[in-house]
Structure 1
Amino acid sequence: MVLATEYTDLLAAFAATGRNHPYLAFTLNGICDRDCVFCKPRCMPDYGHKDTVLSVPEYAAIARTAGQWGVRKAHCSGGEPTLHKDILDIIRALAEGLGTGAQIGMTSHGNFRKGLTVKGLAEAGLTYLNVSLHSTDPGRSAEIMGGGDPGISLATVKEALDLGLKAKINCVLMRSYIEDAFAVAALARSLPVAVRLIELQNIGPAEEMFDTEFIPEAEVRGLLGDWFTGAGEVSRADLGVRSPGRYLQPDGWKGSIGFISNSSCATCSDANRIKITPSGVARPCILHNQDIQLREHLAPGTLDTAFTHLFTAMLERNTNPAWGGYHYVDYDLRWDRMERPQGAAVFLPILATNSGAGCSVRQQQAGAGQ
C-alpha cells in the first residue's frame, strides 16, 4: 500500500470533485465472430493479439489492488469477451478481487458459444449484462452485424433479467437503420432494461459511412418527442450505472432510454473508466495520457504505485486542456501493438480540480459509460 497520507489525500481529492469513483474497463480480447458494418474488426491489419494476454491470476492481482483503492466495478468487453476461453474464471477472479458488493459486467452480442450460459456467468459473479442489438429483424440484423440471431440476443437479455441481473441493450444509431433502432428502443416499453442509443463515431471502418449514416442525438430526440414528453429521469443508482449518462423513462414504460453521444458532445472530463488492454496496458485516457504497463508491477508488488498514477491522471481530466476532444470509446483497445506514449508510474502531485467545461450540464450527463 502507498503511504497512508498520500493514499488518503488522493482519494479525498478525487471524492471532492463529486464525480463517480473510477472503475476498471477490461478489453479481454480483440477477436469477434460478428462483422458489424461500423466495426469490421477482421479488416484491421493486426487483428487479434500477438502479445501475451493476461492470465487469470494476473486479473485477480489487479482486481485485489483496485479493491484496496475503493474500486467496486469492473466491466469486460472485447472483441467478443465470451470467446475468451477463461471468461468464467476471469469473472470469478474480478468478483473476488473487488470484494463484497462489487459490480461485474460484460458487453456481448448475446449469442453465446456452446456450453456458456447466463446462469454460469451469474454464478461466477456477473451482476449485469449489456447486449448489443441493432435490429429486431433477423435479415436487417444480419446486414448490420454480419450474422447472429437477434432472437437469441433478446432471449439472453430476458434470461439475465429472470436471474436478477441488471440488463442494458446497446444500439448504434445509423440513418439507414433508424427505424430498426427505434424498434430496439421500444423493447423498454415492456422490459425493465436500459436501451442505450449510441451515436456513430467517425473512426475506423465507420469513416466511410459517417457522412451519410451519422444521426445526432438532438435529431433523434426530436423524432422521439412523443416518447420523451413528460418522461421521468431514472437514477444511475437504480440502473446499476456508475458512469456518466442520462436515462429517461417514458410514462408507463418498464424500462428507460439513454444516449451515448461522443460524436456530438465529447465528455472526457467526466469519464471515469480506467481502460486495460488484453496484455495489461492501463490507459486512463486513450488519446492523451501515457500508458502504464501493469504487468511490470505484478512481480515486484508495486501495483499501488501504478494506481497512484492512474488516479492522479483521472484528476487531471478536469484541469488539463489536452483532455479536450473526442473520447473514442474502446475502439483502439482491441489491439495492443499501436505506438503510444509510455509513462512511469511515479507519484504525481495532487491537482486542484474543477468541473469540466465546454458542454451543457445535460451534455455532460450524456457522456459515455458502461
Structure 2
Amino acid sequence: MALAAEHHDLLDRFRLSGRNHPYLAFTLNSICDRDCAFCKPRCMPDYGHKDKTLSVPQYAQIARTAGSWGVRKAHCSGGEPTLRKDVLGVIGSLAQGLGDGAQIGMTSHGNFRKGLSVKDFAEAGLTYLNLSLHSLDPGRSTEIMGGGDPQVTLDAVREALALGLKVKINCVLMRSYVQDAFAVASLARSLPVAVRLIELQNIGPAKEMFDAEFIPEAEVRALLSDWFTGAGEVSRAGLGVRSPGRYLQPEGWAGSIGFISNSSCATCSDANRIKITPSGVARPCILHNRDIQLPPHVEAGTLDDAFAHLFTAMLERNGNPAWGGFHYVDYDLRWDRMERPQGAPVFLPVIGTGDGGGCAVRQATHGADQ
C-alpha cells in the first residue's frame, strides 16, 4: 500500500534530520525461566501476562506497514522469547512482512524451550542472535542467572555461527563477577562474535546491589588496557548494530568487544528503537508519554497514522530541551502496566564515575511530552 503524500514528506524530514532510521524492538513476553540477580522478573508486581498479547497476524500487519515506512530491522526479546509457543511464527511473520534484506534478531539466554533449535529460528527468518552469558563457570553462572547451562548457550553460539547468523553475546558487568565477564569477553579471541559488556543499571531489583556491584566502563577499559592498546574499531554497520557505543577488535582477535553504558555515559541523540510491548503498546522513547496502542490501528486499518505519530515523536526529540540528548536510566519496558510518566518531569540521577571514559556526564531533567 502506497504512503500518502504527507507521510512521504515526514520521511523526507526524517532523512534530513540525520537520525538513524527506526527499527522495531518487540518484547514478546514478560515471563522467564531464569532468575538473574539483577533482573528477578518474578519479583515484579506485574509479572506475567495481564493483557492479550499480539497475534502472529497482527505482527505480520505491523511489519508490513513498517516495511512501507522503510523499516528493515526487527528485534525480539522478553522475558525469554523462546517460551512463546508461537515464537517461530512471530519471527517468520516479521521476516516476511519487512521483506528481502531485513534484519531479524532475537535476544535469549540460549537454553531454548525443548524442541527448538537455532536452525529452526534461522529457517524462520532470523538473521542474528543475541545470547546472554554472564559466566563460563556453571556454578557461578547459576549464582547469577538462577539456572541454565552456559555450555548449552555456547553450543547455540557455535551453531548460529555455523548457520551464518551474526552473533552478539550480552554480559552484565558486576564487580563480584568481573573476572567472569572478562572470561566471557575472551571468547572473541577465537570466535567472530561481538561481546557486549553491559553496565549494571540502578533500576528494579538491581537497586539493592547497585552500590556494591556497579563497575563503570571507564574502570573496565583500564583493567583491559592490554587488550585495547592498538585495537581497531569495528563499524556498527558491519556488526548490524545501530545503538550508540564503540566496538573494538584487539589485534589478532576474531571478534570484538563493545560497551553498553546506560549508567555512566549513555546518549540517546541517535537512538532509533521503537519499543513494542507484548500487548502492542508502541513507545518511541522510554522517557516521554507518547505511547500509542497499535491493536486498534491494526483493526481499523490505520497503522500508517500510528507510524506517522511514532516518526514525529522521534523527530521532535531533537528539538525538545527537556531531553538534551542524554538519558541515564532505562525504564523497564517488559510489563505493559508499569507506571509511565504522565505530564510531569522525570528527574534522573547521575552516576558519579570520574571522567566517564570520555563520556559526557551531567545532571539532566527529562520532561514528559505533551
Tell me whether the two structures share a fold, i.e. TM-score over 0.5: yes
User: What is the DSSP-based 3-state SS (H/G/I as helix, E as strand, rest coil) of the residue aligned with 2:155?
Assistant: helix
| 8 Å CA contact 1:63, 1:93 repeated in 2 | yes
Does the C-alpha gap of structure 1 residues 288 and 320 become closer, same or farther in structure 2, counting only changes over 3 Å?
Answer: same
Question: What do the CA deviations read for 1:17-75 (whole angstroms, capped 9, x no partner)?
Answer: 32321000000000000000000000111111111000000000100000000000000
Q: CA offset at residue 100 of structure 1?
A: 0.6
Residue 286 of structure 1: aligned partner: 286
Q: Distance in 2 between matches of 1:342 and 1:300?
A: 26
Partner-residue secondary structure (3-state), 2:332: helix
Partner of 1:326: 327
Counterpart in the other structure of 1:147:
147
User: Structure 1 segments of 4 or more deviating over 6 A?
Assistant: 359-362
Partner residue, 1:60: 60
Distance in 1 between residues matched to 2:179 and 2:210, nearest whole Å: 18
Is structure 2 residue 98 aligned with structure 1 residue 95?
A: no
Q: Aligned AA for 1:92?
A: G
Provide the rounded CA distance (Å) in 2 between the counterparts of 1:2 and 1:363: 43
Q: 2:337 aligned with 1:337, yes or no?
A: yes
In structure 2, the residue matched to 1:114 is: 114
CA RMSD of aligned residues (A): 1.9
User: For 1:327 and 1:304, how far apart are their aligned partners in 2?
Assistant: 32
Report the more deviating stretch, 9-18 or 119-128: 9-18
- Are the aligned partners of 2:63 and 2:97 in contact in 1 as well (CA < 8 Å)? yes
Cα shift readout 1:271-314 (whole Å, capped 9, x = no counterpart): 10000000000001122132100011011111000100101111
User: Which amino acid in structure 1 is aligned with residue 18 of structure 2?
Assistant: G
CA pair 272-363 structure 1, distance change in 2 beyond 3 A: farther
Aligned to 1:16: 16
2: distance between equivalents of 1:240 and 1:340?
A: 30
Change (3 A) 1:110 1:55: same
For the residue of structure 2 that corresponds to 1:264, the secondary structure is coil
Question: 1:62 & 1:327 partners in 2: Cα distance?
Answer: 30
Distance in 1 separating the partners of 2:116 and 2:342:
37
Q: Cα 1:171–1:254, aligned 2, differ >3 Å: closer, same or farther?
A: same
Match of 1:36 in 2: 36
String of CA shifts for 1:119-143, please: whole Å, max 9, x gaps: 0000000000000000000011000
| Structure 2 gap segments, 5+ residues each | 344-354, 361-370
* Offset, 1:3: 6.2
Q: Does 1:86 align with 2:79?
A: no
Q: 1:284 to 1:212 in 2, by over 3 A?
A: same
Give the aligned partner of residue 368 of structure 1.
Answer: none
**For residues 328 and 247 of structure 1, what CA distance do their matches in structure 2 show?**
22
TM-score by length of 2: 0.90
CA distance in structure 2 between the aligned counterparts of 1:31 and 1:2, rounded to whole angstroms? 38
Q: Deviations over 1:62-111 (max 9, x none)?
A: 00000000000000000000001100000000000000100000000000
Q: Alpha carbons of 1:163 and 1:3: their partners in 2 closer, same or farther (altered >3 Å)?
A: closer
Query: Distance between the aligned counterparts of 1:5 and 1:244, measured in 2?
Result: 32
Unaligned segments of structure 1, at least 5 residues: 344-358, 365-370
Does the 8 Å CA contact 1:103/1:126 hold for their aligned counterparts? yes
Tell me, in whole angstroms, the C-alpha distance in 1 between the residues paired with 2:190 and 2:35: 29
Q: Shift of residue 16 of structure 1? A: 1.9
Asked whether the equivalents of residues 291 and 340 of structure 1 are also in contact (C-alpha less than 8 Å), the reply is: no
Using structure 1 for the length normalisation, give the TM-score. 0.90
1:213 to 2:225 alignment: no
C-alpha separation in 2, matches of 1:15 and 1:3: 16
Equivalent position of 1:70 in the other structure? 70
Q: Please give the secondary structure, in 2, of the residue aligned with 1:267.
A: coil
Secondary structure of the corresponding residue to residue 131 of structure 2: strand
Which residue in 2 is equivalent to 1:309?
Answer: 309
Q: What does residue 365 of structure 2 align with?
A: none
Whether the 8 Å contact between 1:191 and 1:255 is mirrored in structure 2 is: yes
In structure 2, give the amino acid aligned to 1:288.
H
Q: Secondary structure at the match of 1:268?
A: coil
Q: C-alpha deviations, 1:331-359, integer Å up to 9, x for none?
A: 5222111243689xxxxxxxxxxxxxxx9
- Map of 1:246 onto structure 2: 246
Residue aligning to 2:196: 196
Q: What is the rounded CA distance, in whole Å, between the counterparts of 1:267 and 1:40 in structure 2?
A: 26
- Identity value in percent: 80
